[in-house]
């Protein structure tokens, strides 16, 4: 091969490899996006049935029920208009409390119960997870606003993953 054709072949190979990489990235991206829905959205059947998504709002007062011999917790998440029952098995984050903001990630069962695989709560007592705040705002215009007080570490302190 002439040097020029050779170089062209190398460049073509490089572009092809890059194309494959981009395709892989985009594919992984598409299949791992997690969308957010408010309890009202879920009540209006806007949320998907077979896909993981997030819901957010307040933990309804008096709704937390623990199973006495396992780590299963049932509670209700509300945006002050609609309420969604949630179950979670595992250890909840430190700031999970009745009347406080919460975000849960999981799937909606056919019985209408949201089965959370992960529960997130914010690590500043006054602070509302942004998604939860948005849910309340969308539902009833209750305006919550608080810019973050310490950025760096907080945002990742807020989850309780199920291993």
Partner 1 sequence: MIPELGHFALVIALALALAQTVLPLIGAATHRRTLMATARPIATGQFLFVALAFAALATSFVTSDFSVVNVATNSNTRLPTAYKFAATWGSHEGSMLLWTLMLASWTLAVAAFSRHLPDRLSARVIGVMGFVSAGFLLFMLLTSNPFARHVPALDEGRDLNPLLQDPGMVIHPPMLYMGYVGFSVAFSFAIAALLEGRLDAAWARWSRPWTTAAWSFLTIGIALGSWWAYYELGWGGWWFWDPVENASFMPWLAGTALIHSLAVTEKRGTFRSWTVLLAIAAFSLSLVGTFLVRSGVLTSVHAFATDPARGIFILIFLVIVIGGSLALFAWRAPRVGLGGGFAPVSRESLLLANNILLAVALAAVMLGTLYPLFLDALGAGKISVGPPYFEAVFAPLMAPAVFLMAIGPVASWKRAELPALWTRLKWAFGVAVAAAVILPFVFGRWSPWVALGLLLSIWVIGASVAQVRARIAGAAQPTLGAKIAAQPAHWWGMVVAHLGIAIFILGVTMVKGYETERDIRMVPGDKTTVGGFEFTFKGTKDVQGPNYIAVQGQFEVRREGSPDVVRIMQPEKRAYSAEGQTMTEAAIATRLLGDLYVSLGEPVSDGAWGVRVYHKPFVDWIWGGCFLMALGGFVALGDRRYRSRLAARNAAASGLAAKAA
Q: Which residues of the chain form contacts with partner 1 (CB under 8 A)?
A: 10, 14, 17-18, 21-22, 24-25, 28-29, 31-36, 54, 66, 68-71, 90-92, 94-95, 105, 123-125, 127, 130-131, 133-134, 145, 147-157, 159-163
Shortest distance in whole angstroms from residue 125 CB to partner 1? 6
Q: Give the span between the Cα atoms of 92 and 112, in whole angstroms.
A: 22
Question: Which helix H or strand E contains 12, and what residues bound it?
Answer: helix 3-31
Nearer to partner 1, 110 or 153 (CB): 153
Shortest distance in whole angstroms from residue 88 CB to partner 1? 11
Nearer to partner 1, 111 or 150 (CB): 150
Nearer to partner 1, 110 or 151 (CB): 151
Q: Give the span between the Cα atoms of 36 and 100, in whole angstroms.
A: 18
What is 55-76 written as a DSSP string?
EEEEEPTT--EE-TTSSEEEEE
Residues 6+ apart with CB under 8 A from 73: 64, 65, 66, 67, 87, 88, 89, 92
Nearer to partner 1, 110 or 152 (CB): 152
């Amino acid at each position: 091969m002439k040097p020029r054709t050779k170089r062209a072949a190398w460049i073509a190979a490089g572009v092809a490899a890059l194309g494959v990489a981009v395709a892989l990235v985009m594919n992984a991206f598409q299949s791992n996006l997690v969308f957010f829905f408010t309890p009202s959205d879920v009540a209006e059947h806007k949320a998907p049935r077979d896909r993981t998504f997030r819901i957010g709002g307040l933990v309804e007062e008096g709704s937390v029920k623990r199973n006495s011999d396992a780590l299963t917790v049932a509670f209700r998440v509300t945006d002050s208009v609609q309420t969604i029952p949630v179950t979670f098995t595992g250890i909840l984050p430190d700031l999970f409390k009745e009347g406080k903001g919460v975000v849960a990630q999981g799937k909606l069962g056919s019985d209408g119960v949201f089965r959370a695989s992960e529960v997130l709560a914010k690590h500043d007592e006054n602070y509302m997870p942004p998604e939860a705040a948005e849910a309340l705002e969308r539902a009833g215009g209750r305006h919550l606003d608080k810019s973050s007080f310490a950025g760096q570490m907080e945002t990742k302190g807020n989850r309780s993953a199920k291993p």
